[in-house]
Amino acid sequence: MGKLAQRVKALTPSSTLAITAKAKELKAQGADVIGLGAGEPDFNTPDNILQAAERSMEAGHTKYTPSGGLPALKKAVINKLAQDQKLTYEASEIMVGIGAKHVLYTLFQVLLNEGDEVIIPIPYWVSYPEQVKLAGGKPVYITATADSDYKISAAQLANAVTDRTKAVILNSPSNPSGMVYTKEELKELAEVCRERDIWIVSDEIYEKLLYGAVEHVSVAELSEDAKRRTIIVNGVSKSHSMTGWRIGYAAGDREVIKAMTDLASHSTSNPVTTSQYAAIEAYEGPQDAVETMRTAFEERLEAIYPKVAAIPGFRLLKPQGAFYLLPDVSEAAQKTGYESVDEYAEALLTEANVAVIPGSGFGSPDTIRLSYATSMDQLTEAVNRIHQFTEEKW
């Protein structure tokens, strides 16, 4: 009697979750571990959103909804896209799902045939390759290094396209690098996609977390052609500190959206009803909490970036968005006697009591990812520990 299907045998479990689990285990044993692994804002969901959720339950909105989301939520998303991106969509071009993660999963399921190639820039968000593989697709990687600000060029993209290429994934601001594509860079990438006739999956989940004078541009804004071939994926998790509510959406081609909605009708029925009412308030209510959280992240970035840059053997770019730092620590690992950055990261956890995410999970094995979605005190203490540990072993 065989047990597991081939498709899950090939799955790589999320490295982010693995290290977080280990950190929790050490904490439970009494160790004073500081976690810099978090992929979520450390603020509570704003009060007005909590209240809207409560009101919806009291009003009896506790039943199934249409599979692709409540009409009122689709309208809120349409208004958001019109206001922020100056893009016009109809309700038939919007699908709301259970977080951006499951929206992406559903998208790859409806887009890919067996063997279709999807271009994924390195460093990547951990779930892209696995989701592509689960849909029968083949990830094709392009490496972006620190020298190019962890961004791919149009020439690199053009070189990676083959007859089997179906799509490219763009994630700006990026998890894990925090880098943001400029309008000009996106224009060049979109031109390659037009010439080679491929889809663009644009993951814009960190859109609201930008620092300094940087601007978010959606590739779909650039031309009618770019809009036609782009599926925007976004949601309320990071912008409104709503990771646990699980609301994300896709905006784009009507046929793709219909297929995603049909698939959801058999897999999820609908996104959680209460969460949808909360998300309507997130988009339509006051937005000051979004800015308050962004400001807090920026203050932390300003405080912590020079301290991380001063750790011996650490080289890093200053991120422009999201809430992660991605230092190249290959020299630090080597000078402190570790065979790999993975081992150095493991030692940071077991010996210095700081949990970081090794970059190998993002296709970038010389780096570690530090999240600054934690209090300034904890951040300062964690960075001091890493500094001291590295200096002592040097």
In angstroms, the CA 318 to CA 217 distance is: 19
Residues 155-194 that bind ligand PLP (CB under 6 A): 171, 175
- State how far the Cα of 275 lies from the Cα of 265, in Å rounded to an integer: 17
Question: Least CB distance from residue 123 to ligand PLP, whole Å?
Answer: 11
Is residue 125 involved in binding ligand PLP (CB under 6 A)? Answer: yes
- Among 36, 49, 53, 101, interactor with ligand PLP by CB under 6 A: 101
User: Which one of residues 49, 87, 119, 205 is an interface residue with ligand PLP (CB under 6 A)?
Assistant: 205
CA dist., res. 55 & res. 37, Å (int): 34
Of 178, 235, 271, 319, the one binding ligand PLP (CB under 6 A) is: 235
Q: Does 34 bind ligand PLP (CB under 6 A)?
A: no
Q: Is 65 helix (H, G, I), strand (E, B) or coil?
A: coil
Is 286 exposed, middle or buried (CB count within 10 Å of its CB: 0-12, 13-18, 19+)?
A: exposed
Choosing from 243, 287, 378, 380, the residue that interacts with ligand PLP (CB under 6 A) is 243
- Cβ burial, residue 393 (10 Å; 0-12/13-18/19+): middle
CA distance 345 to 356: 6
**Closest CB to ligand PLP among 247 and 332?**
247
- Minimum CB distance to ligand PLP, residue 40 (Å): 7
SS3 for 130?
helix
Measured from each CB, the residue nearest to ligand PLP is 99
Helix (H) or strand (E) holding 374: none
Shortest distance in whole angstroms from residue 94 CB to ligand PLP? 15
CB 117 within 8 A of CB 143: no
Instruction: Decide whether 242 or 349 has the Cβ nearer to ligand PLP.
Output: 242
- Of residues 352-371, which lie at the interface with ligand PLP (CB under 6 A)? none
Q: Which residues sit at the interface with ligand PLP, rule CB under 6 A?
A: 39, 99-101, 125, 171, 175, 203, 205, 235, 237, 243, 248
